[in-house]
């Protein structure tokens, strides 16, 4: 299964992705996480450092694919999760879609692309262009991370539109929304009433999740020394179990921008 995790910048995609990847590995899946955000810190809490990106490696080898080995680009992360960072195009130039395409091409040449039960693409979702939708060409299942606010739900609706569009030509499905860093869900509920899709989980703001980023560890690693954090891991295990049990998902239909403004501003 190829999963794309989308959502507005800073919403918690990478944090959630890393912990879901481990949860899936705990369930016996062989998992590769690919960071597709030019920020290239997707896998930071899995490896504890910023691994070299595919684009950096390709550049250092003058784009000679035959000189690149799996060990150059696939790094071992916590809990048996393998990690890749696609990297970004030069700032202000180039296309993120090209970077994702090159990443998949290289992983195929290394015979790594079909080796995994699950490949999870961690993708930024507030840039609306064809490049940002590129991982949807390779994914069959999407999750959207959102909070209970206008901006994240607006981004979620744009992502929904991209999924609907790509689903016309690919066997692509939306698994649903994961609410993050919020104890309220009234706007999330309003949105899914107007635009039906499952809400898989809603995680509150948890100080230890914020701290995990600073420590460069996932919650699953932190729980080793702090057993009281087990309840946080349960959220991610629950998401993993839903992914593994209901992979059919839905083809969503976004709502028009104007309608969304009215809905979320209570006009």
Can you give the binding site for ligand ADP, defined by CB under 6 A?
A: 7, 9-15, 180-181, 203, 205-206, 209-210, 212-213
For Mg ion, the closer CB: 44 or 191: 44
Tell how strand 173-179 and strand 199-202 pair up. parallel
Three-class DSSP category at 218: coil
* Residue 12 binds: one of Mg ion, ligand ADP, none (C-beta under 5 to 8 A by kind): ligand ADP
Take residue 225 and report the two structure tokens written for it. 């020394």
Query: Which residues of this protein are in contact with Mg ion, per CB under 5 A?
Result: 13-14, 37
* Residue 213 binds: one of ligand ADP, Mg ion, none (C-beta under 5 to 8 A by kind): ligand ADP
Gap between the Cα atoms of 113 and 34, Å rounded: 11
* Residue 205 binds: one of Mg ion, ligand ADP, none (C-beta under 5 to 8 A by kind): ligand ADP
For ligand ADP, the closer CB: 53 or 167: 53
- Catalytic residue, candidates 41, 56, 72, 126: 126
Q: How far is the CB of 46 from ligand ADP (least distance, A)?
A: 12
Could you tell me which of 105, 204, 190 has the C-alpha nearest to residue 156? 190
For ligand ADP, the closer CB: 12 or 176: 12
Q: How far is the CB of 45 from Mg ion (least distance, A)?
A: 10
- Catalytic residue, candidates 8, 82, 147, 217: 8
Sheet holding 173-179, edge to edge: 75-76, 82-85, 31-35, 118-122, 2-7, 141-146, 173-179, 199-202
Q: How far is the CB of 22 from ligand ADP (least distance, A)?
A: 14
For ligand ADP, the closer CB: 11 or 107: 11
Q: Is 126 a catalytic residue?
A: yes
Residue by residue, DSSP assigns 33-65 as: EEE-STT--TTHHHHSS-PPPHHHHHHHTTT-G
Q: How far is the CB of 43 from Mg ion (least distance, A)?
A: 10
Take residue 13 and report the two structure tokens written for it. 């995609």
Q: What's the distance, CA 8 to chain centroid? A: 11
Q: Is 8 a catalytic residue?
A: yes
Q: Is 217 a catalytic residue?
A: no
Gap between the Cα atoms of 114 and 186, Å rounded: 40
Q: How far is the CB of 109 from ligand ADP (least distance, A)?
A: 28
For ligand ADP, the closer CB: 2 or 40: 40
Contact at 8 Å (CB) between 84 and 56?
A: no
Active centre residues (catalytic): 8, 13, 39, 126
């Amino acid at each position: 299964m190829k999963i794309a995790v989308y959502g507005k910048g800073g919403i918690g995609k990478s944090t959630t992705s890393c912990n879901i990847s481990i949860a899936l590995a705990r369930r016996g899946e062989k998992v590769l996480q690919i960071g597709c955000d030019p920020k290239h810190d997707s896998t930071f809490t899995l490896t504890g450092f910023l691994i070299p990106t595919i684009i950096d490696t390709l550049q250092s080898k003058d784009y000679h694919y035959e000189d690149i080995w799996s060990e150059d680009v696939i790094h071992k992360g916590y809990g048996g999760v393998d990690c890749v960072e696609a990297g970004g195009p030069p700032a202000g130039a180039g296309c993120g879609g090209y970077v994702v395409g090159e990443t998949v091409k290289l992983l195929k040449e290394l015979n790594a692309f079909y080796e995994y039960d699950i490949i999870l693409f961690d993708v930024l979702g507030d840039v609306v262009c064809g490049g940002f939708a590129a991982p949807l060409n390779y994914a069959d299942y999407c999750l959207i991370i959102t909070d209970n606010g206008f901006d994240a739900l607006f981004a979620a609706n744009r992502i929904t539109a991209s999924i609907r569009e790509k689903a016309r030509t690919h066997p692509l499905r939306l698994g649903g929304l994961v609410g993050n860093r919020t104890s309220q869900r009234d706007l999330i509920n309003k949105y899914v009433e107007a635009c039906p899709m499952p809400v898989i989980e809603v995680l509150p703001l948890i100080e230890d999740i914020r701290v995990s980023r600073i420590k460069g560890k996932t919650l699953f690693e932190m729980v080793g020394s702090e057993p009281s954090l087990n309840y946080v891991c349960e959220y991610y295990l629950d998401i993993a179990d839903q992914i593994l049990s209901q992979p059919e998902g839905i083809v969503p239909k976004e709502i028009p921008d104007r309608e969304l403004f009215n809905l979320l501003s209570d006009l």
